[in-house]
Amino acid sequence: MSTLRSSLMELINRLCPDLSPTAQAQLTIPMGTVNQIRQVFEERIRQHDYDPDITLINRALRNTDELIRQERTYAGQLRLTEAIGLHSLPSHLRDFLRDHDNLYRAAIRSRRLAGFAATSKDVDLFSNIKVRILNLWNTYSLRTISTTRSPSERKRIRKEPAFKKELLDCTDLLVDEIWRVIHRNFQIQALLPEETELENIGPDHIVDTFGSDITPPPAAAASMLNPPDENTKLYHTQRCCICLDTYTSHPAFKLETCGHVVGKSCLAAWLNSTATNATTCPFCRTELCTRRARRLSARTQALQTEQESLETCLKKALRIMQDVDRLANTIYGDGVDATLGAWTGDAVKEVNRRCCANGVMVGFRRDGRVALRWRLRRVEWARGGVVA
């Protein structure tokens, strides 16, 4: 007990060096209350299957101490509640302890989830990274508790290779994913036709409803004795205006509306094509029928759908990258805002390097106006791949 009390005093000394010895003494929490807190926390540890962890108790004490530092009148209140116990502590102190306990529980949960996500094949990439980053955030928050702004704990975390490795692993996964999305999207751009590819919907136009067949000449060839009639002349001399072939190769068809003659099979293909003027006579452009309903071709549609899902993936990846950046800079930088984008910088340069090496004309450029301070742009890679 006396070690607890003295470590508490030590903490108070460290946190409030400017307090007079009397004021510091006043801040000491009565041991009865300390014991109550210890009991409650130990009970919670038991209930929630936590690792029996003396650091939890120490943290609770440190937080109590922090509260006292901020609201100095608590010392007196706590002294009065010595015999009563945790349940009758001032409500905001009780809430604080409960929040802290919740955070601890959340941290345990996310630690388990992160362990599961890192090893399971059933977890998708983004959930995997998200839960692992959340775990790192929780670990960090739990150990520092934002209200104490404990720089020493941050220094300790900075020196832990496992923490940094986990952060780097997550970043590498994000880089791979961002690269995959950009690369595939670039491939799709090349696959998509310049003009929108359409296909017709519903039943075909029946060509017979637009006119009538012209009877082909008899098998016997025309001769001097048997001069060619009009139809025979038509079959031998005139040509279909669509395929420019004579009607000996494909039967002729006369349009009822305008009287023009075209190859029957060519007309059928024409009227059922996706061309905008496929509703007209191919010769004189007289309107013959209404347009068939069209839609994007299945291939174009599939590519566009894939593009949309890639865009969603990219947005997600960049959002998570932002979170990684924030965490990394909170721990390894000097402050969140001052170095925003610093951690991401290396990751982004790696994506750019891959784009450049593979002739993908897209890359990240610095842009202070966007959240990550990097924006994806079309770029012409210089030889050697200089990245602005």
Single out the residue of 360, 358, 351, 354 nearest to residue 379, CA to CA: 360
CB of 278 or CB of 281, closer to Zn ion: 281
- List the 261-263 sheet strands across, edge first: 211-213, 252-255, 261-263
CB of 243 or CB of 314, closer to Zn ion: 243
Instruction: Give the CA dihedral 101, 107, 112, 116, nearest 10 degrees.
Output: 150
Of 103, 243, 342, 387, the one binding Zn ion (CB under 5 A) is 243
Query: For the chain, first and last CA: distance in Å?
Result: 61
Q: Which stretch binds Zn ion (CB under 5 A): 46-54, 209-217, 252-260, 373-381?
A: 252-260
Q: Looking at the chain, how many residues does it have?
A: 388
Of 27, 40, 281, 331, the one binding Zn ion (CB under 5 A) is 281
Residue type, 284: C
Please report whether residue 258 would count as binding Zn ion according to CB under 5 A: yes
Which residue's entry shows tokens 């006292």? 68
Smallest distance, Zn ion to C-beta of residue 274, A: 18
CB 361 within 8 A of CB 186: yes
Q: Which stretch binds Zn ion (CB under 5 A): 85-93, 138-146, 206-214, 285-293?
A: 285-293
Q: Which stretch binds Zn ion (CB under 5 A): 4-12, 157-165, 279-287, 313-321?
A: 279-287
CB of 89 or CB of 240, closer to Zn ion: 240
Please report whether residue 242 would count as binding Zn ion according to CB under 5 A: yes
Residue 10: partners with Cβ closer than 8 Å, 6 or more residues away: none
Helix (H) or strand (E) segment spanning residue 27: none
CB of 282 or CB of 363, closer to Zn ion: 282
Of 97, 104, 110, 263, the one binding Zn ion (CB under 5 A) is 263
Helix, strand or coil, per DSSP, at residue 246: strand
CB 263 within 8 A of CB 211: no
Please report whether residue 254 would count as binding Zn ion according to CB under 5 A: no
Of 27, 240, 317, 327, the one binding Zn ion (CB under 5 A) is 240
Q: Give residues in contact with Zn ion (CB under 5 A).
A: 240, 242-243, 258, 260, 263, 266, 281, 283-284, 286
